[in-house]
Structure formats: C-alpha cells, structure tokens
Homo-oligomer: A and B are copies of this chain.
Amino acid sequence: MPEVVDQIDTSVLEQLLGYNARRASLAVIGQFLEDMAEFNLRPVEFSVLTLIASNPGITARQLCQQLALLPPNLVGLLNALVKRDLIRREPHASDRRATALHLACGADKLVKKAQSRALQSDEKVLGHLTAAERQTLIALLKKVYATPQL
C-alpha cells in the first residue's frame, strides 16, 4: 500500500461507459458554453430555438418530450425567450389548451448564426478526429440512446 499517491490509477473507471460519457460531455458542453457566450444561449435554449425553427407551431409538451424536460421547468425558459423577442406564443390551431410556438420576426437570423457557431464548436472538439471517426461516434451515441432499454 503506497503511502503517497503520485500517479492516479483510473483503469477501473476508464472501462466504464458512464465515466467516459460524462467526461466527454463536460468537454463538449464546456466548449459549447464558451462559443455560445456571444449569443447568450445555453445548450437547452439553443435546442429549444432550433426545434421551434425547424418545427414552427410546436407545443411546449412536444418540446418537453423531445428534450427530456419537465413542463414546469420549461415555462420560465420560454418566458425568457419571449421577453428577449426570440419567440412568440400563438394560439394552437386545433387545441385551445396548447400554445403554438414560433420564432419571433428576425430571430431566424440569430438562430442560423448560432447553429453555424454550434457546428464550429463541434469542429473544435472533434478537430483531431477523422470524418469517419466523427460519423462513427455520433452513430454509436445514437445507438446507445435510440434503442428501447426493456
């Protein structure tokens, strides 16, 4: 039993998926936060704006399902985006309980810029991976979460 630890043995942790996934996520999110600071967008806000841009009229419930958010936690986020004139709430066409979410006029420009910046952020983190490796990585991540766990 060594009295003083100099080199840390992480061999057990390093073979576990969760440990590696968490450390990779920290690296990706850290770079994302840095690159998105100019737009003042956190990852969830970026995802919400992107889904609204690609799916005009989407409801809060659909956003919650897609992004694994709980409805009470989405309310304040949407309020903030409305206050920043990035989105607007409109009456839903067929369900008067729901609200249809749309980008505010002019917000599509900012969203496009942010999306381009997000791709650049990925580029930084994945810069030392080949194109094939990147595709493989994303495909394998999808395979992890896109399958019913039964």
Give the nearest-CB partner of A31 in chain B.
Answer: B149
With beta carbons under 8 angstroms apart, the residue of B16, B92, B145 that contacts A23 is B145
Chain A residues 9 to 51 lying within 8 A of chain B, measured CB to CB, are 9-29, 31-32, 43, 47, 50-51
User: Which DSSP category, helix, strand, loop or mixed, fits chain A's interface?
Assistant: helix
Give the nearest-CB partner of A147 in chain B.
Answer: B128
**Residue A59 CB within 8 A of the other chain:** yes
**A138: B residues at CB distance < 8 A:** 14-15, 17, 20
Asked if A27 contacts B144 (CB within 8 A), the reply is yes
Interface residues on A, range: 35 or more
- Quick one: copies of this chain in the complex? 2
Asked if A17 contacts B50 (CB within 8 A), the reply is no
Asked if B122 contacts A18 (CB within 8 A), the reply is yes
With beta carbons under 8 angstroms apart, the residue of B14, B47, B55, B147 that contacts A19 is B47
Given contacts A4-B94, A125-B149, contact A12 B115 (CB under 8 A): yes
Give the nearest-CB partner of A43 in chain B.
Answer: B18
Chain A residues 92 to 149 lying within 8 A of chain B, measured CB to CB, are 92-94, 100, 115, 118-119, 121-122, 124-126, 128-129, 133-134, 136-138, 140-145, 147, 149
**A25: B residues at CB distance < 8 A:** 18, 21-22, 25
